[in-house]
Structure 1
Amino acid sequence: MTQPHYDESSVTVLKGLDPVKERPGMYTRTDSPTHIIQEVIDNAADEALGGFANRIHVCLNQDGSVSVFDNGRGIPIGIHPTEHVPVIELVFTQLHAGGKFNKKSGDSAYAFSGGLHGVGVSVTNALSQRLEVTVKRGGKVWRIVFADGAVIEPLQEIGTCAVKDSGTEIRVYPNPRYFESPNYQLGELERLLRAKAVLLPGVTVELTRFNKGDDTPQTQTWHYPDGLRGYLNDLLVNAQEAVPIFACENYISAGSEGDFSAGEGAAFALTWLEEGSVAGESYVNLIPTPLGGTHEAGLKQAVFNAVGNFINHHNLLPRGVKLQSDDVFSRTAFVLSVRVLDPQFQGQTKEKLTNRDALKLVAAVASDPLELWLNQNSDIGKKIAELAIKQAQARMRSVKKIEKRKGSGVAVLPGKLTDCESEDTRENELFLVEGDSAGGSAKLARDKATQAILPLRGKVLNSFETHRDQLFGNAEIHDIAVAIGVDPHGKDEEPDLSGLRYGKIAILSDADVDGAHIQVLLLTLFFKHFPKLIERGHVYVAQPPLFRVDVNAQGKNKPARKFYALDQQELDGILERLAKEGVRDTAHSISRFKGLGEMNPDQLKDTTMHPDTRRLLQAQIPDADIDGIEQVFVKLMGKGEAAARRAWMEAEGDKVEADV
């Protein structure tokens, strides 16, 4: 067999927009062109958020293109001082070029924005077969045209306009070769534009589209004079509210001391429902976050604290009932809009906020107004308390029912398992921890009410080709099966999950190559022998940090701080942020954790185990790709696949990013 050619010429360097074209899924959703249009809309919304625009108009044209117009300042068209090309060309042809950096220093063109990396519209350009930009700025009209990310019509002046008439119009022709479907998700676009109108007081948002076979355009207009309250009221059209909607906005004022900057804060509207639930909506700097994040956790904490304090103050809690956060929040319908100076999202699609500080920010600005409202309206407060207490009592009754079904034939639990106190499967969590020393730290870091620890010695068996009857010959696998209360089963079987003892089973290993290997071995075990646990969303992977950055106190108003980084990329981001803040290299130190055992319990709790601040990835098996996943496991874990693994490593090994 001919060996693959591999020398210095085999290494390819992707420049400009080539990385986006080569791997579009890293930068955007590829199911449809909707998200690359959203990037353009978000830029228009950032102009409105800064107070420079009061109109956003989106048009779905008959030729399949989309036009986005705003009457903001217009993209600068002058020559960049260091790159020596027009700024407008730079923005659309270079990754990480934009006006949303340097926020801490005050040199950014935007105080608050959803854009972070200068990536959005350049991705749109890269994945479009044609993109036209028209700018009104300084009494002149300018135009530039791109094709497949490259300039085909250089920037030129095409007319004049009134000096006060300014704005930007971008017309996008998505390239269908990069997307599974060329059709836009109209419902998603409508929700996005409606939300922009809600979150931008005084801004009118319009959507124009054409129906098939009809040349007459249809235009929808959104304008919400009542802001979040009116929007939430629309969402609740078919729901029965238990109490009136409470709406509030609270932002940090200039000159305030503390960890937050002037202008940061939150606006929110919420209510409680008599029955059922309505999915809450949250936004960060006008960007929708459908997967939630730390800002939603902050609101949840504020609501729990305010309602809990009200219940304690009025002595409403019955004997023997212990209130939990979900008891209070499960029937809450809310809309939350947060302003954060330097937001950090999970991925370029920005569906989840990950800033740890956002939890503290939202909790700080929301707690006092909520508590004041409850105490000023005690009837409302007592109604909310009644709903929360009923929810807690129902939860406790369900636990007792589950306990009776278990009977007396329960297997003896492993001696090294440190179990939790609660018997409610919905809230219980089991951490499978690498090593006894890490297990000791995890025991001290856990919430003993709901979190259990099972330390694992060494690496578990590669069980991919192990017969089910021989599984329990391995002590570690035997202990895992007994601890979770579910017998091994196949993907086509319907196992008895009534004995399941934990709603979340989290793999917790070191943030290095050995830890990754243990993760793979355990995921192999669950994929092959406990597939229904993955299918029903019970299996997770915890992500401990690899680095810690200690920053010395910066004067009286800035105490010492600690930052944690998951990997080198996050560490670089933290160091860049500190540099922008003016923190000298000598004023901070970097520590690398060799393993979980090196972390003290407080560090492990804050970074990896506390529900509000940890990073927990859910293991999922997409139905559409089950066969592909099966083949990957066969190649990686099959005993007779050494040749296939070697060929794969030779082909793909240069792409690995591993900390050894």
Structure 2
Amino acid sequence: MAVEPKYDESSIKSLDWREHIRLRPGMYIGKLGDGNAPDDGIYVLVKEVVDNCIDEHMMGYGNKIEIKIEDRIVTVRDYGRGVPLGKLIDVASKINTGAKYDSGAFQKSVGLNGVGIKAVNALSNYFKIESFRDGKTRCAEFEKGILKKEQKETATTELNGTLVTFMPDETVFKNFHFKPDFLDDLFWNYAYLNSGLSIICNSKKYVSKNGLVDLLQRKTNEDELRYPIVSLKGEDIELAFSHGNDYGEDLYSFVNGQYTTQGGTHQQAFREAFVKTVRDFYKKDYDTSDIRQSIVAALAVRVQEPVFESQTKTKLGSQYVVEGGQSMKSFVLDFLSKELDNYLHRNTAIAEALKKRIEQSERERKELSGIKKLANERAKKANLHNKKLRDCKFHYNEDPSGKNKEDVLAQQQKTTIFITEGDSASGSITKSRNTETQAVFSLRGKPLNCFGLTKKVVYENEEFNLLQHALNIEEGLDGLRYKNIVIATDADVDGMHIRLLLMTFFLQFFPDLVKQKHVYILETPLFRVRNKQETIYCYDEAEKQAAIKKLGAKPEITRFKGLGEISPEEFGRFIGDDMHVQPVLLEQGEHIFSLLDYFMGKNTPQRQEFIIDNLKVELDAVEN
């Protein structure tokens, strides 16, 4: 007979600020991760420190931020006013302590809750904060949030400002590393939104003269744009946009300098206001999807005391620009109905190009309508007994409202769908996955090479149509059911080919999935090296040699040729918290058609040479 656990005064525990952050890091920084995703915790730590520097700049203090990231140690120096010396330790270690509760000091700030820098402190092996203020300095050093050393006020010749140095805790962020591409995006976004600000990271300089126009020029290939980037500015709002040739919408939205990756009220207001303004200008009731198809846009707003849906501030919840004042919806609509309407009247060539792009989308949509209806009916029937999809409990697109909202949000960040091929591989992943947050979609073989085909093939090809429905992306990314799409194929020639075919599908028809960094490649170990005491899994030849050296005495070495060779018990280790994945990244301004043509189009001498050179490298690695 089971004994009921005791519930009395001894069951009630109070955690101090440091213990709570370390026990529930997801509440403060979202997910943990190892640095292979742009929203992994180590980047949130960097952002929390830099956000404070940005807030100083926005208030008119300091136009330069110096950052150094080396050997996993981050150093950030700003030239603002410097933290008041008497409150230095409180600012770094007392929860809900900060200057930003006073709207007079920080009118339109990013960091509002007095939490961010404390989370960095608590989740760092080493954390040091030093303030320089009016010829005096003070310093404090911490380990995992515990004060270890304190320096009293001394004289200094340093310019005013704050210096923070930290190293994320390896026990929290296991096997972490910083990806230069993600840091690049982070620092460029700061530069685009703060003209006059200079950020220098490891000697690379980030500075922007044209704001959001510079952002779109970096994110797009100008050869693919249908008309020059339109730039509109008003009080507390800036917008830049154009249309390209890709499917979908590519939107970048910001609030008070914060990149809201999940959008929010400001982004939704823009989407609705853009449609209404365009309809009014052309005096034609164009379909919403035709107006927004292939748009690429960046929107930045300034909001007093913004309300975000979580501490990581990736989605804006504010309904008003100023509490009790104008609604976000009417604010954005008023701006667009005046500024965009005026712009299109003054620039008739751009107005004509925009009209042609909309009418092209309209023709394509009507051509698809017949087959789309039949395909969707087939997909509905298949969904009732879809053996290709083993679903999970939580989904990325569901409303997380309720008493456990923070926990649900944390689970949504983990939602993953594995796309795999063959019964054996699917079986191993299905048996070892976390059914709360991990789904599996099984391919029956090599997908169709869809390069150069129209979107009609997405509906005509049963497998592509079922995959589209599993992801719920037919009408755009708003309904995306899984945050992470992981291609899980064998590391052999056939597996590599399937990866390329799937990436061609995503890049051709749903490029936003790749641009917004939702698509990953699963890495599983190539070797298992073991003796009777220890088993080591190795992801490359160097790790294998290190394992052999460690275990000595001729250990047993197994080379995994396919996912199906890894038992479900072993597989569970490779798709858990320590899962190795590589993000599918596009170079900034990459010409998608040229890229796909090179790899998936007709054979050319250049491609043959590329394949032979890289195949030789792979074969050499295997033989050794």
Length-normalised TM-score, structure 1: 0.57
1:159, CA displacement in angstroms?
Answer: 3.1
1:279 to 223, 228, 250: 250
Residue 163 of structure 2: aligned partner? 169
The 3-state SS of whatever aligns with 1:178 is coil
Residue 38 of structure 1: aligned partner? 47
Q: Over aligned residue pairs, what C-alpha RMSD do you find?
A: 4.0
2:131 to 131, 135, 138: 135
2:185 to 191, 200, 208: 191
State the alpha-carbon separation in 2 of the partners of residues 336 and 509 from structure 1.
Answer: 25
Q: Which AA in structure 2 matches 1:58?
A: I
Q: How do residues 433-582 of structure 1 correspond to structure 2 at under 5 angstroms?
A: 485-489=381-385, 491-492=387-388, 536-538=470-472
Question: Greater shift after overlay, 616-625 or 274-283?
Answer: 616-625
Q: Which AA in structure 2 matches 1:180?
A: K
How many aligned positions are there? 420
1:117, CA displacement in angstroms?
Answer: 1.1
Cα deviation digits, residues 177-200 of structure 1 (max 9, x gap): 111332123221111111111111
Verify the 8 A CA contact 1:266 1:339 in the aligned structure 2: yes
Q: Does 1:376 align with 2:346?
A: yes
1:392, CA displacement in angstroms?
Answer: 2.1
Residue 556 of structure 2: aligned partner? none
The 3-state SS of whatever aligns with 1:350 is coil
Q: How do residues 635-654 of structure 1 correspond to structure 2 at under 5 angstroms?
A: none
State the alpha-carbon separation in 1 of the partners of residues 184 and 78 from structure 2.
Answer: 17
Verify the 8 A CA contact 1:74 1:167 in the aligned structure 2: yes
1:44, CA displacement in angstroms?
Answer: 0.8
1:110/1:282 CA distance change after superposition, 3 Å: same
Verify the 8 A CA contact 1:236 1:278 in the aligned structure 2: no
State the alpha-carbon separation in 2 of the partners of residues 143 and 243 from structure 1.
Answer: 53
Cα deviation digits, residues 202-244 of structure 1 (max 9, x gap): 1111111xxxxxxxxxx11011122222332232236422112
Residue 301 of structure 1: aligned partner? 272
Residue 385 of structure 1: aligned partner? 355
Cα deviation digits, residues 555-607 of structure 1 (max 9, x gap): xxxxxxxxxxxxxxxxxxxxxxxxxxxxxxxxxxxxxxxxxxxxxxxxxxxxx
Cα deviation digits, residues 491-531 of structure 1 (max 9, x gap): 44699xxxxxxxx9998999799xxxxxxxxxx99999999
Residue 91 of structure 1: aligned partner? 91
Residue 17 of structure 1: aligned partner? 18
The 3-state SS of whatever aligns with 1:267 is strand
Q: Does 1:221 align with 2:205?
A: yes
1:17/1:56 CA distance change after superposition, 3 Å: same
1:127/1:324 CA distance change after superposition, 3 Å: same
Verify the 8 A CA contact 1:143 1:158 in the aligned structure 2: no
State the alpha-carbon separation in 2 of the partners of residues 15 and 24 from structure 1.
Answer: 14
2:83 to 65, 72, 75: 75
1:147/1:158 CA distance change after superposition, 3 Å: farther
State the alpha-carbon separation in 2 of the partners of residues 617 and 385 from structure 1.
Answer: 29
1:325, CA displacement in angstroms?
Answer: 2.4
Q: Does 1:66 align with 2:65?
A: no
The 3-state SS of whatever aligns with 1:176 is coil
Residue 361 of structure 1: aligned partner? 331
1:534/1:117 CA distance change after superposition, 3 Å: farther
Verify the 8 A CA contact 1:242 1:383 in the aligned structure 2: yes
State the alpha-carbon separation in 2 of the partners of residues 134 and 169 from structure 1.
Answer: 5
Residue 350 of structure 1: aligned partner? 313
Verify the 8 A CA contact 1:489 1:530 in the aligned structure 2: no
Q: Which AA in structure 2 matches 1:387?
A: R
1:372, CA displacement in angstroms?
Answer: 0.4
State the alpha-carbon separation in 1 of the partners of residues 194 and 230 from structure 2.
Answer: 19
1:506/1:230 CA distance change after superposition, 3 Å: closer
Q: Which AA in structure 2 matches 1:77?
A: L
1:391, CA displacement in angstroms?
Answer: 1.0
Verify the 8 A CA contact 1:142 1:156 in the aligned structure 2: yes
1:61, CA displacement in angstroms?
Answer: 2.7
Q: Which AA in structure 2 matches 1:186?
A: P
Q: Percent identity?
A: 25
State the alpha-carbon separation in 2 of the partners of residues 230 and 187 from structure 1.
Answer: 17
The 3-state SS of whatever aligns with 1:44 is helix
Q: How do residues 183-332 of structure 1 correspond to structure 2 at under 5 angstroms?
A: 183-208=177-202, 219-237=203-221, 239-251=223-235, 265-275=236-246, 279-312=250-283, 317=284, 322-332=285-295
1:186/1:278 CA distance change after superposition, 3 Å: farther
Verify the 8 A CA contact 1:526 1:534 in the aligned structure 2: no
Question: Greater shift after overlay, 44-53 or 387-396?
Answer: 387-396
Q: Which AA in structure 2 matches 1:340?
A: V
1:286/1:487 CA distance change after superposition, 3 Å: closer
Length-normalised TM-score, structure 2: 0.60
Residue 262 of structure 1: aligned partner? none
Verify the 8 A CA contact 1:135 1:169 in the aligned structure 2: yes
Verify the 8 A CA contact 2:200 2:206 in the aligned structure 1: yes
Which ranges of structure 2 fall in alignment gaps of 5 or more residues?
35-41, 321-327, 405-434, 443-465, 489-521, 523-567, 573-624
Cα deviation digits, residues 617-649 of structure 1 (max 9, x gap): 947798799x99xx9xxxxxxxxxxxxxxxxxx
1:368/1:190 CA distance change after superposition, 3 Å: same
1:363, CA displacement in angstroms?
Answer: 2.7
Cα deviation digits, residues 88-142 of structure 1 (max 9, x gap): 2111112222111142xx3xx2111111211111000000111111111011122
1:398 to 365, 368, 371: 368
State the alpha-carbon separation in 2 of the partners of residues 345 and 619 from structure 1.
Answer: 21
2:107 to 101, 111, 116: 111
The 3-state SS of whatever aligns with 1:393 is helix
Q: Which AA in structure 2 matches 1:284?
A: V
State the alpha-carbon separation in 1 of the partners of residues 485 and 371 from structure 2.
Answer: 33
Q: Which AA in structure 2 matches 1:111?
A: Q
The 3-state SS of whatever aligns with 2:182 is helix
1:68/1:528 CA distance change after superposition, 3 Å: closer
The 3-state SS of whatever aligns with 1:27 is helix
1:535/1:390 CA distance change after superposition, 3 Å: closer
Q: Which AA in structure 2 matches 1:285?
A: N
Verify the 8 A CA contact 2:472 2:479 in the aligned structure 1: no
Query: Which structure has the higher relative contact order (CA within 8 Å, separation 6+)?
Result: 2
The 3-state SS of whatever aligns with 1:280 is strand
State the alpha-carbon separation in 2 of the partners of residues 494 and 142 from structure 1.
Answer: 57
Verify the 8 A CA contact 1:98 1:118 in the aligned structure 2: yes
Verify the 8 A CA contact 1:17 1:94 in the aligned structure 2: no
Q: Which AA in structure 2 matches 1:143?
A: C
